[in-house]
Amino acid sequence: MNKFHSTFNIQRSASNLQVGAALLAALWAVSAPAAEPASRNLALADCVGLALENNLDLRIERIARSVAQQDVAAAQGGYDPNLTLSAKRTHEETAGSSAGTAAGALEVLGSETDNDAFGTSVGGATALGGLSYELGARLGQSDGTRDGNPFDTSTGSASLTLTQPLLKGFKTDSVRYQVAVARKQSAEAAAQLEARIQDVLAQVETAWFGLIEARESIRVQEDAVQLATQLYEDNRRKVQIGALSRLDEKQAESQAAAARAALSSARRAYAEAQNQLKTLLYADHRSVRAVELAPIGELAAEPVATDAAASGERALERRPDLRQARLALERQGIAVAYQKNQTLPSLDLVASYGVAASDESSAGDVYDRMEAADEPFWSAGVALTFPLGNRAARTRYAQSRANEEKQKLGLRQLEEKALVDVEDAVAAVRTGYEKVQATREARDYARQALEAEQRKLESGKSTSFVVLQLQRDLTSARNDAVQALMDYNRQLAALALAEGAMLERHGVEFAEE
C-alpha cells in the first residue's frame, strides 16, 4: 500500500514537471520575437547578373535563338546525299508459233523470262550553282527460254550523271535559298535576343530604382508620423492645462492618423516593389518569398552632357531592333531574287558517263568487264522547259517585291521613331536634372520653414494649424525630391535604352555566335 502510494507521487511529480516545461516553452514562444525575414543586399550590378542568369523571358528567348541556329543546320541538310537501294524480280511469258517444219509439225516460238534487277545510287544537290549529281550502279540477271532455246545473261552498268541549271535554279536553287533564309533568321534571332536583354536590363534598373524609392518613401512617412505624433502629444498636454483649444488637438490627431495611413500605403508599395524586382531576378518566387531584397549603393544626380543628334546617330547604328529589321529586309531581298529566278524557263545541261557490260556465262565476268571499261558510254544534252503563262511564279515575284517595299517603309518608320525616342529621352534627362535641383531646394526651404514655425509656436507666435500645414508641405517636398531623383536615374536608363547602349551601360558583352 505504501509502495503504491509512493510510486503514484513520483509519477505525479514527473507529470507536473512536464506540464511546467511545456508551459515555459509556450511562454517563451509567445514572448520570443518573430523571426525576421532573411535580407539580401543587392547592388545594381548584382541585380543585372541575377537577371541575366535567371530571368525567364531571357531563357525563353535563348531557346528561340537556339532553335533558329538549328534551322540553319536543318536547311544545310538539303545538301546531304540520298542513298537509294532497289531490288526487283519480273517474270514474262510470250506465246507464238511458226508455219511448221518439213515434217509438217508446228514449232512453238514463245519465250519465258525471269529477270532479277539490283540497283544502288547516291545523289543529291551541291552548293555549286545548283549542280546536282547521281552516281549509280545496276546489276541484272535474266534467264529462261527463247524460241525454245535456254539462255542466262548477266548485265551491269555504273554511271555518273550531272545536271546543271543554266536559267531557273542557277545559283538560286531551293536548297541555297533555304540556307540563306535560315542564316538571316538566325541573325535576326540573335538581334532579338540582344533587344530582349536590353529591355530586361532596363526593367531591372527601373525596378531597382523603384525599390529604393519605396524604401525612401517609408522613411519620409515614418518621419511624418513622428512629427505629427509629437505635435499631437504637445497639443494634448496643452489642452489638459487649458493653454490650447481641443480643436487644435483634434487637427493634430487627424494629421497623425493620416500620416499612419500614408505609411501603410508606403509599406504596401515597398512590398509590391520587392515582388516586381524578384520577378525579374529569380525564376522561382517561392524560394525567395521570405527574402527581403535590400538595394545598396548611392544614386547619382550629376549633370550629363547630352547631344540629341549624336545620340540619334548612335541609336540608328546600335539599336538591336533596327538591326533586326534590316536583317529581315535583307532576307526579303533574298526572297525577291529567288522568286524572280523562278519566273525563268528551265534550261538544264545534263551529262553522264559510265561503263556497261554483259556476259552469257557468269556475273563475275560482268564485274571484270566493267572494271576493264571495255563498253563505255556517255551522253550530253540540254533540256528546255518553258512554262506557258507562268502566272503563279510571276504573281509570287510581284508579291515578294511588294513585301520588300513594305519592309523598307517599316524600317524607315522604325528609324524615325528611334530618332524621336532619343530626342524625347534627351529632353527628359535635361529637364529631369533641373527638377532634381529644384525639388532639393524646395525640400530644404520646407524644412527651414517648418523649423522656424515650430520655434514661433513654442514662443506662442504661431498656431498649431500652420505647423500642421508646414509639416504636410515638408513631407510632400521630401517625396517630390525622392521622386525627382528616381525619375532622373530612370531617364538616364531610358536614354541608354533608346540609344541601344544598355549593355555598355552595365558592362555586359553579347556574343552573337
- Domains in the chain (CATH in brackets) are 40-69+180-334+399-505 (1.20.1600.10), 85-99+106-125+131-165+349-385 (no CATH)
pLDDT in tens, 88-110: 999 888 876 555 555 555 555 67
Between residues 358 and 385, the one the model is more confident about? 385
Rounded Cα distance, 133 and 123, in Å:
5
Cell representation of residue 317: 547604328
Rounded Cα distance, 257 and 228, in Å:
9
For residue 434, name the pLDDT band (cuts at 50, 70, 90).
very high
Between residues 104 and 14, the one the model is more confident about? 104
Mean pLDDT computed over 19-26: 39
Rounded Cα distance, 380 and 336, in Å:
33
Mean pLDDT computed over 71-85: 94
For the cut 60, the answer to whether the pLDDT of residue 1 exceeds it is no
CA distances to 337, 344, 381, 394 from 387, in Å: 19, 8, 20, 11
For residue 463, name the pLDDT band (cuts at 50, 70, 90).
confident
Cell representation of residue 298: 548611392
pLDDT in tens, 364-422: 566 667 666 677 889 999 999 998 889 999 999 999 999 999 999 999 999 999 999 99
Please enumerate, as own/partner, the contacts of 46-53 that have beta carbons within 8 Å and a separation of 24 or more: 47/204, 47/205, 47/207, 47/208, 47/277, 47/280, 47/281, 48/201, 48/204, 48/506, 48/508, 50/281, 50/282, 51/200, 51/201, 51/204, 51/280, 51/281, 52/197, 52/508
Rounded Cα distance, 155 and 358, in Å:
4
For the cut 50, the answer to whether the pLDDT of residue 19 exceeds it is no
Cell representation of residue 431: 529637364
Rounded Cα distance, 23 and 423, in Å:
70
- In whole numbers, what is the pLDDT of the chain averaged over residues? 86
Taking alpha carbons only, the member of 200, 494, 500 closest to residue 321 is: 500
Cell representation of residue 144: 529462261
Are the C-beta atoms of residues 175 and 183 closer than 8 Å to each other? no
Between residues 469 and 23, the one the model is more confident about? 469
